[in-house]
Amino acid sequence: MPDNETRLSNLLDKRSASNSYRSINLAASQLIDFSSNDYLGLARSESLKANILKAYTESASSKNGSTGSRLLTGTSSILEATEHELTQIFETKAGLLFSSGYMANLAFFSSVPQKDDTILYDELSHACIKDGCRLSLARKFPFRHNDLNQLEQKLSKAEGNIYIACESVYSMDGDFAPLERLVELAQQYGAKLVVDEAHSTGSFGKGGAGLVNALGLREKVYAAIHTFGKGMGVHGAFISGSKTLREFLINFARPFIYTTAPSDFECISISQAFRFLEKNQSLQQDLQARIALFQTLAHGKLPLIQSSSSIQAILVPGNSKIKQMSQSMYDQGFDVRPILSPTVKASEERIRICLHTYNSQEEITKLVSTLTTYLS
């Protein structure tokens, strides 16, 4: 048996040979950004930054760090106030703040579904949902992406308490979950629908409350997981649901119990981001205008996956081809990133375009023209 370093090196060599080797890249600030998740431009907003720093500086009770877990010394008055504010924004009975969407999904799916329960999750669900399911003692089965017929077949055979997991906007394809129909199926079979709102929080709904709230489905969805590191431009996440769910997570979710609490600065940033969006709701309309422009220009010219969200995916099968295309776009001043297998299925590699409020009409027009020329 090879020693550990050799074994790890062999696995890295295998990944390199398949052209799927990952590396860390600095944000390309000199390029036109069509890659980041900063859909509304809040992460780069100088006005929001000033608001956050002013609120943090003027808060007499804020500390640099939270100093411990929530159950020990980590719960501050600022954190509690932020959670209360978020319950109002998301129009939910209760909720719990986490350091990231990954941790929130891991906490929910590893603890709430019990032995003899069943989790049915969309096959394109994010890795954190799948990792949470792996840690759960419940049975877990994927269903084909947005395939309601297959989901219903599996619902008819599911046992125990049944949980349906999906994303409101899918991170790789940019398409929407059929939330109304999922709610109907959940009600028909007595299942609990759990929606990851990572890519809709901020971009949709009153005050950035997400797609579930925008569709008036909040009372019919068992739990929604909101992430703030994308459209909201800051960091952290929030699980909204019942008071009982909140208390259960506090008592049984290991990713909540055994981790350091979010800092006061994180909490103030979240609060200020939502207050900023409330005063600048036109940002959502600005984003929709950018999406409509891109789709009009790209129609019939680019091999797009159908999407009405900020995420537009151009399919170019093969890791080598998609990496070459990304490098060519980089050389021409565009920050667009390749999505390689195994992150997506082999033959479904793609360029992932993210549209933002700060992308100008000229930039979007030039992007589509450059992509079209490359693929012609």
For the segment 96-108, the average pLDDT, to the nearest whole number, is 98
Residue with tokens 């600005």: 286
Query: Of 18-22, 224-228, 272-276, which gets the smallest average pLDDT?
Result: 18-22
- 116 neighbors 159 (Cβ within 8 angstroms): yes
Q: Which of 104-108, 218-222, 338-342 has the lowest mean pLDDT?
A: 338-342
Q: Which domains does the chain have, with CATH numbers?
A: 25-44+281-375 (3.90.1150.10), 59-279 (3.40.640.10)
Known catalytic residues are 37, 126, 167, 171, 196, 199, 230
In this structure, what is the dihedral angle of CA atoms 33, 123, 180, 231, given to the nearest 10 degrees? -20
Q: Each residue of 352-375: pLDDT tens digit? A: 999 999 999 999 999 999 999 999
pLDDT score of 177: 98
Beta strands in the chain (DSSP E): 32-33, 94-98, 118-122, 139-143, 162-167, 192-196, 223-227, 237-241, 311-315, 334-335, 337-339, 350-354
Long-range contacts of 82-89 (CB under 8 A, 24+ apart): 82/267, 82/268, 82/270, 82/271, 83/238, 85/271, 85/274, 86/226, 86/238, 86/240, 86/270, 86/274, 87/240, 89/207, 89/208, 89/209, 89/274
Q: pLDDT band at 28, cuts 50/70/90?
A: low
The percent of residues in the chain predicted with pLDDT above 90, rounded, is: 89
d(CA 345, CA 348): 5
Question: pLDDT by residue (tens digit) across 33-74?
Answer: 999 999 999 999 999 999 999 999 999 888 999 999 999 999
Calpha distance 130→152 (Å, rounded)? 20
| Rounded distance between C-alpha atoms, residue 60 and residue 240, angstroms | 29
pLDDT the model gives residue 8: 94
The tens digit of pLDDT for each residue in 229-268 reads: 999 999 999 999 999 999 999 999 999 999 999 999 999 9
Name which of 13-22, 37-46, 70-79, 107-116 the model is least confident about.
Answer: 13-22
Q: How confident is the model at residue 185 (pLDDT cuts 50, 70, 90)?
A: very high
Q: Reply yes or no on whether the pLDDT at 25 is more than 80.
A: no
Phi-psi region of 19 (alpha: psi -120 to 50; beta: other; left: phi over 0): left
Q: Minimal CA–CA distance to 231: which of 211, 246, 215, 213?
A: 211
Rounded to 5 degrees, φ, ψ at 170 are: -80, 135
User: Which of 6-20, 63-77, 83-97, 240-254 shows the lowest mean pLDDT across its residues?
Assistant: 6-20
Give pTM, 2 decimals.
Answer: 0.93
Backbone angles phi, psi at 64, to 5 degrees: -70, -35
Q: In the predicted model, what is the mean pLDDT of the chain?
A: 95
DSSP string, 313-337: EEE--SHHHHHHHHHHHHHTTEE-E
For the chain, state the CA radius of gyration.
21
Residue 27 has pLDDT above 70, yes or no: no
Q: What value does the mean pLDDT take over residues 109-116?
A: 98
Strand spans (E) along 99-182: 118-122, 139-143, 162-167
| Euclidean distance between the first and the last CA atom of the chain, given in angstroms as a whole number | 50
pLDDT grade, residue 20 (50/70/90)? confident
| Parallel/antiparallel/unpaired status of strands 350-354 and 337-339 | antiparallel
Number of other residues whose CB lies within 10 A of the CB of residue 314: 19
CA angle 259, 70, 80 (to 5 degrees): 130
